[in-house]
């Protein structure tokens, strides 16, 4: 997992060309970008959505095998909890079509981070993450999730 300000993206550009492309997109994306899927390359896509954060994420934690998530908010802020998969108990088996399995905490409380106000988070396949949570008051947000092929 990576958690940092978008202004520091150069520190991560050398990890992979695909990750660099996704981070640069986030640094330059317009706040009025259209909702939906935006193909950046055959290995990188950005998904823009709007929703209201929730006190509880009914799905719990999620993890992906085929795609790395870079999560960034264009409007508002949200809390995301994160735990390595070894500290989570699977509640819904991996679905290849959704590239996701779902989990719950198994005796260890997740690390909370605030995404928004220029902060982003990168979640790799070993990182269980629970996005979309209220950071204080629940609010309407506009979010970009860049998916980078593993």
DSSP sequence for 11-51: GGTTT-HHHHHHHHHHHH--TTPPSEEEEEETTEEEEEEEE
Tell whether the model's pLDDT for residue 148 goes beyond 90.
yes
Q: Would you state the pLDDT for residue 10?
A: 87
Tell whether the model's pLDDT for residue 13 goes beyond 90.
no
Do 129 and 87 touch, CB atoms closer than 8 A? no
Q: Which of 10-14, 34-38, 131-135 has the lowest mean pLDDT?
A: 10-14
CA distance 54 to 26: 24
SS3 label, residue 120? strand
Q: Would you state the pLDDT for residue 80?
A: 98
Considering only CA atoms, which of 149, 119, 133, 122 is closest in space to residue 45?
149
Phi, psi of 57 (to 5 degrees): -90, 110
Give start and end residues of each alpha helix (H) in 1-150: 17-28
Look at the pTM and tell me if it is higher than 0.85.
yes
Considering only CA atoms, which of 80, 69, 58, 73 is closest in space to residue 129?
80
Which is more confident, 144 or 9? 144
pLDDT single digits (tens) 65-75: 999 999 999 99
């Amino acid at each position: 997992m990576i958690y940092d300000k978008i202004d520091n993206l150069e520190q991560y550009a050398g990890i992979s060309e695909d990750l660099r492309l996704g981070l640069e997109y986030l640094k330059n994306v317009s706040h009025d970008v259209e909702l939906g899927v935006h193909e950046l390359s055959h290995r990188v896509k950005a998904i823009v959505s709007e929703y209201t954060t929730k006190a509880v994420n009914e799905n719990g934690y999620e993890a992906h095998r085929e795609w790395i998530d870079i999560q960034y908010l264009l409007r508002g802020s949200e809390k995301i909890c994160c735990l390595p998969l070894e500290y989570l108990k699977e509640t819904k088996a991996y679905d290849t079509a959704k590239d996701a399995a779902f989990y719950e905490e198994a005796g260890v409380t997740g690390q909370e981070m605030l995404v928004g106000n220029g902060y982003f988070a990168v979640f790799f396949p070993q990182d269980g993450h629970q996005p979309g949570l209220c950071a204080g008051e629940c609010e309407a947000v506009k979010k970009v999730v860049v998916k980078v092929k593993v």
